[in-house]
Amino acid sequence: MKKTIMTGIILLAACTNTPTIITFNDQFVGTYNPAAGCDSLLLKQDCSKIIGASTNIKIDEIELRIAGSADGRVVLIMSKPALSTDTIALEQGTAAVKTFFLRKGIDIVETKAIYGDNIIVGYHYTFDIDGYSYLKTLTVNKSL
């Protein structure tokens, strides 16, 4: 049964349409397919192979989920619902995260969107230092 479910998920993920570049905040950014896994996204902290980011945070009253690389320089940000994407919360949340890091003097080196079938399901950021530790201070409850 597990093999059948996983095969179905893989087939669905393979069918998503992911361009290599999209426009985000009036800039061109690269993309990852939603089927990209924790390892291919360089995420070693709080990443689930099934739902992606698994640590719940709240920033400016917006609930998000995060995962990070071993050194904390790479961060995946997703909306709180695990089985669907709250696009409004994701957009507002990423704006709040950018402001949060701007105030701390931490630079975003690279931004990529997790994008498929015309939906952004998360953002993959690379920071100049360990940004993940800063975001972890906003944890609101246990990981999923």
Rg (CA), the chain: 15
81-137 tens-digit pLDDT: 767 788 899 999 999 999 999 999 999 999 998 888 788 889 999 999 999 999 999
Three-point CA angle 42, 46, 49, nearest 5°:
70
With a cut of 50, say whether residue 6 has pLDDT above it: no
> Cβ distance 31 to 24 under 8 Å?
no
Considering only the C-alpha atoms of the chain, give the largest distance between any 2 of them, rounded to a whole number of Å. Answer: 49
| Residue percentage of the chain with pLDDT more than 90 | 53
55-78 tens-digit pLDDT: 999 999 999 999 999 999 999 999
13 vs 131, residue with greater confidence? 131
d(CA 69, CA 124): 11
Question: What pLDDT score does 117 carry?
Answer: 78
With a cut of 80, say whether residue 28 has pLDDT above it: no
The 10 Å Cβ neighbour count of residue 75 is: 26
Name the DSSP class of 59. Answer: E
With a cut of 50, say whether residue 9 has pLDDT above it: no
